[in-house]
Amino acid sequence: MVGALAIILLFQLAGEVISRAGHLPLPGPVLGMVGLVVALSVSTRLRELIRPTAQGVLQNLSLLFVPAGVGVVAHMPTLANYGLALAVSLVVSTLLAIVVGAVTFTWVARLVGSRADD
């Protein structure tokens, strides 16, 4: 548990260093995630070490959004001024993106003959 946490933090730390040193647009944790995917593909031992801790963290992922979410109290004026713009933008863009993504996936899968397993 401590070992797994230390390794997860180390990948984040490495990601932050690379992101800042290379002036990359990717946030450090995303680079850390990419690095860990590679490392997990190579090492079965690492997979067994990390998995229980990672699953524990991911099962409570929603909790971690709460502190930032409460920040809404500091943005009431913006929300009052742009409430309609944001509401229309969020609803239309989210639904449109789902439809475009699902239709594209279905068409391309048919085109290249990629079938679902089930």
Tell me which long-range contacts 40-43 makes (C-beta under 8 A, separation of at least 24).
none
Q: Which ranges in the chain belong to alpha helices (H)? A: 2-21, 28-42, 44-59, 66-70, 76-112
Using an 8 Å Cβ cutoff, are 76 and 83 in contact?
no
Q: Which is nearer to other proteins, 3 or 27 (CB)?
A: 27
User: Euclidean distance between the first and final Cα of the chain, in Å?
Assistant: 36
User: Closest approach of Cβ 110 to other proteins, in Å?
Assistant: 9
- 2 contributes a contact to other proteins by CB under 8 A: no
Site string for other proteins, 77-116 (x = CB under 8 A): -xx--x-xxx-xxxxxxxxxxxxxxxxxxx-xx--x-x-x
Residues 37-56 that bind other proteins (CB under 8 A): 37, 40-41, 47, 50-51, 53-55
Q: How far is the CB of 21 from other proteins (least distance, A)?
A: 15
